[in-house]
Amino acid sequence: MDSMNDSLSASSDPKTAIIRQIQQEAAINNARQLIDKMNNHCFQKCVPTPGSSLSKKEETCFKLCMEKYMSAWNTVSRQYISRIQRSSAGGNGGFGL
Amino acid sequence: MDLSSASASQLDFSKLSDYEKRELQQNLQNEMQKAKIQESVHNLTDICWTKCVTKGISSGTLDRTEESCTQNCVERFLDANEAVLKHLEEMRGQGGV
């Protein structure tokens, strides 16, 4: 990841640079994680018996499945964050995963 | 995040004032918390997708049943998590563990 090291040394403020790098890394990590899980789940759903190539039907299924997985991700995210907010508002800080 | 510690060695933190150091630490903590929440969302989406999206993929969005199943799934999983912790606590109190 040379581009990151470049952006690090280019910035004169080490504080901003390190935060920016960590944010970038977290974003990459997040995307990778999503792609990984999406691929696993959608493969399971859309390719029950693998043929010699991906069929048109399987490809279409993948597209829909990806959109569906992302909307599931968003639903979970909304619900989880509202739960955290509720439990911290109620003085019950005992959530944890 | 081992990459951040690797790049940290390239940065000169001795120039930072105590205030800046505290600010940086706060920023880092925020980023870590964000990453932790995202990690949990990935994990929950994984679990709740398996539980709630049981039919074939016919659209790119969650239908109403899947949506409410997913919301319940998040809430109940976290309830279960709390119940486990609570019971462990009780067992410890009884000298069971």
pLDDT of A58 reads 96
Decide: B69 and A61 in contact? Cβ < 8 Å. no
pLDDT of B1 reads 46
pLDDT, one tens digit per residue, over A1-55 is 455 555 445 456 778 888 899 999 999 999 999 999 999 999 999 999 999 999 9
For residues A69 and B50, what is the distance between their CA atoms, to the nearest angstrom? 11
| Nearest by CB: B82 against A46, A65, A94 | A94
All domains of chain B in start order, with CATH: 16-93 (1.10.287.810)
Burial group, residue B87, by CB count within 10 angstroms (0-12, 13-18, 19+): exposed
DSSP B95: T
| B29 chain-A contacts, CB cut-off 8 A | none
CATH class of A2-90: mainly alpha
Q: Is A82 a residue whose pLDDT tops 70?
A: yes
pLDDT of A12 reads 61
Structural domain spans, chain A: 2-90
Q: Is A91 a residue whose pLDDT tops 90?
A: no
Tell me whether residues A26 and B38 touch, CB distance under 8 A.
Answer: yes
pLDDT, one tens digit per residue, over B3-42 is 545 455 556 677 778 888 898 899 999 999 999 999 999 9
ipTM, two decimals = 0.80
Residues in chain B: 97
pTM comes to: 0.80
Tell me whether residues B70 and A75 touch, CB distance under 8 A.
Answer: yes
- Which residue did the predictor score with more confidence, A92 or A29? A29
| B28 chain-A contacts, CB cut-off 8 A | 18-19, 22
pLDDT of B10 reads 58
pLDDT, one tens digit per residue, over B57-93 is 999 999 999 999 999 999 999 999 999 999 999 999 8
For tokens 């932790």, the residue is B36
> Any CB–CB contact under 8 A between B97 and chain A?
no
